[in-house]
């Protein structure tokens, strides 16, 4: 995972294909379907002229009590309530940048298109979030639709790790990640056909207090266009901003980004680092 900070790992050819940076907040109950045209006009003027409707995302909260985590919320709806507001996508003409909005979520995505555009770097995606979120806040204020009260910040990187050229099969994940050794106490089992896993790591501040979690999922897959075997590694860092304002959110995003960058370098092998042409970083 590349970065412009000199102390962080950096790669000339990273496998990242998508980045999502998300703000979660208390639901804006005053936001209704009639306001979607207002939002579309605002984002269309900034180059996001295409729209799509998608199902609403459930709220997800990282906490550190004895309950299983993260907690996924369920919204209850009375029979006489209006139908839920969909999650709206606003996409640019190339469809490689998008904004997602629902009553309790604002998300900015970059995703690699068919022409394999290079990853634009975290700092530029964060700037896009700052710009588009300011537009969103202005729209809310113009119609008195409520005040944003942030609850969670989430940063996700999606990596498509290509391995066929190196002769690596789906059962050879010890060549890709450092968490699998493929050793057994008895010889009955040998190399598996494939392996998938999910791992969670507490993110702590300088005093050792948990402020969020890093989730790493790893699974075999095949590229849709060529049927080439790949591995998909999703890395999601999520936590509560403190203070619970936009500046606190930006600080948390920076911490989450560092955990994803360092975590990616830590959990992948030196063999893969050579494939991605690692340049520097502690």
Q: Provide the pLDDT for residue 163.
A: 87
- The span from the CA of 163 to the CA of 27, in Å, is 43
Is the four-CA dihedral 112, 267, 13, 173 of positive or negative sign? negative
DSSP secondary structure letters along 181-218: ----SSTT--S-S---EEEEEEEE-TTS-EEEEEEEEE
pLDDT in tens, 80-106: 465 678 999 999 999 999 999 999 999
What is the span of the domain harbouring residue 134? 10-74+81-280
Tell me, yes or no, whether 121 lies in a domain: yes
Q: CB within 8 A of 24, min separation 6: which ones?
A: 59, 60, 104, 105, 150, 151, 152, 153, 154
Helices 122-142 and 246-267: crossing angle in degrees, nearest 10, is 150
Tell me, yes or no, whether 1 lies in a domain: no
Tell me, yes or no, whether 194 lies in a domain: yes
Tell me, yes or no, whether 2 lies in a domain: no
pLDDT confidence of 2, banded at 50, 70, 90?
very low
- The span from the CA of 59 to the CA of 75, in Å, is 9
DSSP code for 4: S
Tell me, yes or no, whether 138 lies in a domain: yes
pLDDT in tens, 176-229: 999 998 888 998 998 899 999 999 999 998 888 999 999 999 999 998 888 899
Q: How many CB atoms lie within 10 A of CB 235?
A: 23
pLDDT in tens, 126-145: 999 999 999 999 999 999 99
Q: How many CA atoms lie within 13 A of 185 on its CB side?
A: 0
Compute the mean pLDDT over every residue in the chain, rounded to the nearest whole number.
90
Domain count, the chain: 1
pLDDT confidence of 43, banded at 50, 70, 90?
very high
If we measure between CA atoms, which residue out of 45, 255, 272, 268 comes closest to residue 168? 272
Tell me, yes or no, whether 5 lies in a domain: no
Q: Provide the pLDDT for residue 79.
A: 47
- The span from the CA of 152 to the CA of 139, in Å, is 21
Q: Provide the pLDDT for residue 5.
A: 52
Tell me, yes or no, whether 3 lies in a domain: no
pLDDT > 60? residue 33: yes
If we measure between CA atoms, which residue out of 275, 280, 248 comes closest to residue 4? 280
């Amino acid at each position: 995972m590349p970065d412009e900070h000199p102390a962080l790992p950096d790669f000339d050819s990273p496998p990242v294909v998508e980045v999502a940076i998300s703000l979660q907040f208390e639901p804006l109950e005053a936001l209704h379907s009639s306001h979607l045209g207002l939002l579309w006009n605002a984002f269309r003027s900034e180059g996001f002229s295409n729209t799509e409707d998608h199902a609403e995302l459930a709220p997800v909260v990282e906490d550190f009590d004895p309950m299983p985590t993260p907690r996924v919320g369920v919204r209850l709806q009375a029979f006489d309530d209006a139908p839920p507001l969909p999650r709206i996508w606003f996409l640019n003409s190339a469809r490689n940048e998008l904004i997602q909005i629902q009553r309790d979520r604002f998300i900015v995505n970059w995703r690699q298109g068919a022409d394999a555009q290079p990853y634009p770097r975290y700092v530029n995606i964060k700037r896009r979030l700052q710009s588009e979120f300011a537009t969103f806040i202005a729209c809310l204020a113009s119609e008195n639709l409520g005040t944003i009260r942030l609850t969670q910040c989430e940063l996700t990187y999606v990596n498509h790790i290509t391995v066929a050229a190196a002769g690596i099969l789906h059962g050879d994940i010890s060549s890709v990640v450092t968490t699998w050794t493929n050793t057994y106490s008895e010889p009955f089992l040998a190399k598996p056909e494939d392996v998938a896993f999910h791992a969670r790591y507490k993110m702590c501040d300088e005093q050792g207090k948990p402020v969020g979690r890093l989730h790493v999922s790893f699974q075999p897959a095949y590229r849709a266009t060529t049927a080439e075997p790949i591995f998909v590694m999703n890395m999601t860092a999520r936590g509560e901003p403190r203070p619970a304002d936009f500046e606190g959110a930006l600080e948390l995003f920076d911490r989450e980004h560092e955990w994803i960058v360092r975590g990616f370098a830590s959990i992948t092998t030196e063999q893969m680092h050579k494939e991605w042409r690692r340049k520097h970083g502690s």
